[in-house]
């Protein structure tokens, strides 16, 4: 005969406050908790740098476009193309990392803050 179980488990602790998990049938020395990932650390410095690159690149692209179209008069028009090229080269990494940071903050699958290089290491 087995005694009937009451709503409390030994010592007056109610059973609904006890948190437990079922043990695996085979003990291989591993537990599930050691494979859980901690929440990623947000790389604020890298995101600030990406924002700076994005803004400077956008500004250089706008200025280069205005120089190239003649809206802003220059004495040496051969210097307008390098401004555009530098603007594009600065804009692209900033845009790329800001896009990753935005999608990671929204929780889209495949995007993580781990994909952004952190300078604190």
E strand segments, 1-121: 8-9, 13-14
pLDDT digits (tens, 9 = 90+) for 38-83: 777 888 899 999 999 999 999 999 999 999 888 888 888 888 899 9
Quote the pTM value.
0.65
Report d(CA 46, CA 18) in Å as an integer: 43
């Amino acid at each position: 005969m087995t005694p009937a179980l009451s709503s409390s488990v030994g010592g007056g602790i109610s059973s609904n406050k006890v948190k437990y998990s079922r043990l695996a049938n085979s003990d291989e020395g591993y537990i599930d908790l050691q494979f859980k990932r901690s929440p990623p650390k947000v790389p604020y410095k890298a995101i600030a740098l990406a924002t700076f690159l994005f803004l400077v690149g956008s500004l250089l692209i706008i200025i280069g476009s205005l120089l190239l179209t003649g809206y802003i008069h220059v004495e040496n028009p051969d210097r307008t193309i390098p401004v555009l090229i530098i603007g594009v080269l600065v804009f692209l990494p900033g845009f790329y990392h800001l896009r990753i940071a935005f999608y990671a903050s929204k929780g889209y699958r495949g995007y993580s803050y781990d994909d952004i290089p952190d300078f604190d290491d």
